[in-house]
Amino acid sequence: MHWVAVVAAVSVCILVLLLGVCLLGVGRLTINYNCDYCLGLKYALQSVVRKNMTQLTPGLQVDLKVVIAAGHMPWHDELPPSNAEVPKTILVTYKSRHALPHNVLPRLQQLNPEFLLTFMGDDDAVRFLEREYTPWHAERFRETPDGPIKADWLRLLYLVKHGGYYCDADMIPTAPLPVCESGGILVPYDGRSSDRNLLNPCFIGAAPRHPVMHNCVRLAEYVFRHNPYTYWGHSIVHLLSFVNFKMNFPIPRRLVEQWPVRWHSRDNQITSVDRSVVFFESRDPRYNQQTHKYTSCQ
């Protein structure tokens, strides 16, 4: 019976260790994104946390009403609930147009000829934030060290006022954009059963002043003001998923992120929920997910 007690004790220790890792924030672990086994471990651990979305990110275990009250700023009063049409505009942002491969914008425009394509480099983004928000918003953009989190901040603040569509600069479009209904919002859900309530805002379609975007802006402002900077702690992957959960899932499950090869992060697709239409195929092979930069402009 001695060996049974030893096995039981070891099992308990392992469970406690895994639980501790989850509660301390799996998103802060250093993960080798070129290693499918590392990604598998990360997602397996995160799935435990995501069964209760209020534990998704350390520091966000608070009621959304408290966050909104703490993060209230006067300009929010200008944003009533929206039933407006979604403008046919597409926002793409990257460090600069010169650092972007020459075919990225044309291939998106070619598939969506009736849309106005708006590109913002870092300098354009700072001018936009200074003009339409406050110096504080512009300074948060300048000080953020990671390009994808800069893009998160910009897409939130642009779409909540102007509406329209946003696409990550590293995605390969394969079909015209899905249509977002008047007053609506579209964001892909994670296609894995373990993470089915997680959103991937690599693509967003939203009406101006949409309540989900409005609340996510307030939450992001709160996090920037009160939380030490971490990549995943400030990512709207977590913030938008948290808001969607707390608002009882107003984002319709029309788009999903799929992996033809499980745990293989480089082969993801954004598809319709029935998989009949692939809107975006994989990541551009010239884009390095570790450095968040294109390795070639050709």
Q: Measure the CA angle with vertex 176, ends 173 and 178; round to 5°.
A: 105
CA dist., res. 277 & res. 194, Å (int)? 23
Return all residues near 81 (Cβ < 8 A) that are at least 6 apart: 209, 211
CA distances from 70 to 44, 171, 188, 218, 222 (A): 34, 36, 29, 9, 7
Burial class (CB in 10 A: 0-12, 13-18, 19+), 285: exposed
Quick: pLDDT tens for 234-270.
999 988 988 888 888 899 999 999 876 655 555 689 9
Return all residues near 191 (Cβ < 8 A) that are at least 6 apart: 256, 257, 258, 259, 271
Beta bridge partners of 206: 164, 185
Predicted TM-score (pTM) of the model is: 0.76
Say if CB 176 and CB 111 are below 8 A apart: yes
Residue 140's pLDDT band (boundaries 50, 70, 90)? very high
Amino acid at 276: S
Quick: pLDDT tens for 17-42.
554 444 434 333 333 333 333 433 44
pLDDT on residue 202: 96
Fold of 56-294: Spore Coat Polysaccharide Biosynthesis Protein SpsA; Chain A (3.90.550)
Lowest mean pLDDT among 9-23, 65-79, 182-196: 65-79
For the cut 60, the answer to whether the pLDDT of residue 53 exceeds it is no
Residue 129's pLDDT band (boundaries 50, 70, 90)? very high
